[in-house]
A and B are shown apart, each in its own frame.
Chain A
Amino acid sequence: GQNIDQPTEMTATEGAIVQINCTYQTSGFNGLFWYQQHAGEAPTFLSYNVLDGLEEKGRFSSFLSRSKGYSYLLLKELQMKDSASYLCAVRDSNYQLIWGAGTKLIIKP
């Protein structure tokens, strides 16, 4: 079966750095997406990785290792508004997105 694993919840301090991990087992791989979702709202796109390595976009970076079936989202200089759920999704061989259950990130002052 297809599976995406992420920690259920993480806590971090304002101004700090946090890394959210995602491991996947899917039938084929055609890219990995990270989305942010505030409670009760729609997911919004953060990053896309299809090749191994690090993609940096401002305070957010995303890393991919296809051989290990592993990705992480790195958030720097955390702000209170970063409190949200972070969703990892993998596009499989049929070009459908398989979604993880999300990681709820709690930022404390």
Chain B
Amino acid sequence: DGGITQSPKYLFRKEGQNVTLSCEQNLNHDAMYWYRQDPGQGLRLIYYSQIVNDFQKGDIAEGYSVSREKKESFPLTVTSAQKNPTAFYLCASSIAETGAYEQYFGPGTRLTVT
């Protein structure tokens, strides 16, 4: 079955530590995205990538970094510079940015930083 996997589902870290969230897809999609979801707010775009070895900042990229070395993988690192990292993180992919192509989402990683 094709889909998107994110691991782990729950992650706990101490303040000051960097942490990397995994995102893998076997849908053969070119575009991949990272969103953050906080209570009472819409999804906010952190980074996106339309092709291997290329990615762009979204609306809230500060304190985050990504890489896209393989088409299937788009890991997100939450650095110690991110002021309020506790949130639900969602990875998504789509065939393309344009057209009637929806984004498919992974199950999410809930990160808690104390």
Chain A interface (Cβ within 8 Å of chain B)? 4, 8, 30-31, 33, 40-45, 48, 50, 87, 89, 95-102
Contact partners of B45 in chain A: CB under 8 A: 96-97
Do residues B42 and A41 form an inter-chain contact, with CB atoms below 8 A? no
Contact partners of B43 in chain A: CB under 8 A: 43, 87, 89, 97, 99
Do residues A101 and B100 form an inter-chain contact, with CB atoms below 8 A? no
Give the total number of A-B pairs whose CB atoms are below 8 A apart: 46
Do residues A50 and B42 form an inter-chain contact, with CB atoms below 8 A? no
Contact partners of A96 in chain B: CB under 8 A: 45, 48, 58
Do residues A97 and B58 form an inter-chain contact, with CB atoms below 8 A? no
B75 to chain A, nearest CB (A): 18
Chain B interface (Cβ within 8 Å of chain A)? 40-45, 48, 58, 90, 97-98, 100, 102-108, 110
Do residues A101 and B58 form an inter-chain contact, with CB atoms below 8 A? no
Do residues A98 and B97 form an inter-chain contact, with CB atoms below 8 A? no
Q: Give me the 6 closest cross-chain CB pairs, A-B, nearest first.
A: A99-B42, A42-B105, A45-B102, A99-B43, A95-B97, A101-B42
Select one of A31, A42, A87, A95 contacting B42, CB under 8 A: A87
A101 to B108, CA, bound (A): 17
